[in-house]
Amino acid sequence: MDTALERRRPPTAQQFVLAELRRAITTGELRPGGPIRQDALAARLDVSRVPLREALKSLEAEGLVVHHVHRGYFVAELSLEDLEEIYRIRRLLETEAVRAAVVEMPDGTVGVLEEIQREVERAAEGGDVTAMAEANRRFHFALIEASGMPRLVRLIATLWDATDAYRSLYYAEDPHRELAVREHRAVISALRNGDVEAAVRCLDEHRDHAVAALREVLDLE
């Protein structure tokens, strides 16, 4: 087996397959609407079909993959309307989370955000879409989790999961990565100044720019 896969292998075969499928979807290796060829995937990951089927069922429950009778599994494909609705709901929920986070924010949270931001910027400069997507998610959830509302965090995470397949499409372009870096810095600056309205406004613009870019991508496909 590939040594990189060995390093990423979690404790169980199902967890390993689930993590690898998520990675493949997030990076665009498995594109929205594309088929998931189970035999080839099981052989590449060196697992049986059993953990692969269980992992696919988990992803189907989350809405990341869909199953068509007699055709098999496919990466879920969102319409532009679906994508815009998800981002609209995210705006509502994340605004509530950020407002609560500013009030409840544990000491050192801004420092954690700055540390993660350095990872975001290294990935952006290197054009590493996978690393940037992962660091970007950790950046946002470090702030969201500071709200101290775990149910709200889980709801927001579900919405993020539903659009994982589209993250790589956005970060594939240099200008989009550079814009995300600047927007993250603006959020950190607002939080350091205790300006919740500025932080909310920066995050709204951050989401709006992503939707606008993805709107163009989806219109072309």
Distance from C-alpha of 194 to C-alpha of 103, rounded to nearest angstrom: 9
Residue positions counted in the chain: 221
Residue 3: CB atoms within 10 A of its CB come to 7
Q: Is the pLDDT score of 221 beyond 80? A: no
Give the pLDDT confidence of 27-85 residue by residue, as tens digits: 778 888 899 999 998 899 988 889 999 999 998 887 788 999 989 999 988 788 888 99
Question: φ and ψ at 64, to 5 degrees?
Answer: -85, -25
Give 145's DSSP letter.
G
pLDDT band at 6 (very low <50, low <70, confident <90, very high): low
For the residues 109-129, what does the mean pLDDT come to? Answer: 95
What CATH number should be reported for the domain whose range is 3-75?
Answer: 1.10.10.10
| 3-class secondary-structure state, position 67 | strand
Across the range 170-188, mean pLDDT stands at 94
Average pLDDT score, the chain: 89
Q: How confident is the model at residue 5 (pLDDT cuts 50, 70, 90)?
A: low
Largest CA distance in the chain: 57
How sure is the predictor about 209, in pLDDT bands with cuts at 50, 70 and 90?
Answer: very high
At residue 8, does pLDDT exceed 60? no
Q: Where are the domains of the chain?
A: 3-75, 80-220
Q: Name, in order, each residue with C-beta under 8 angstroms of 201's C-beta and a sequence gap of 6 or more.
A: 190
Backbone dihedral region of 93: left (phi > 0), alpha (psi from -120 to 50 degrees) or beta?
alpha
Q: ∠ CA 76-79-84 to the nearest 5 degrees?
A: 115
Domain 80-220 in CATH: superfamily?
GntR ligand-binding domain-like (1.20.120.530)
Residue at token pair 């950046």: 139
- What percent of the chain is predicted at pLDDT more than 90? 55
pLDDT at 10 over 60: no
Cβ(155)–Cβ(49) below 8 Å? no
Name the burial class of residue 42, with classes exposed (0-12), middle (13-18) and buried (19+) by CB atoms within 10 angstroms of its CB.
middle
Cα–Cα distance, 151 to 173 (Å, whole number): 34
Mean pLDDT for the stretch of residues 86-92: 96
Cα 71 → chain centroid:
27
**pTM, full prediction:** 0.80
Q: Note the pLDDT of residue 212.
A: 92
1 pLDDT exceeds 60?
no
Q: Which amino acid is it at 160?
A: W
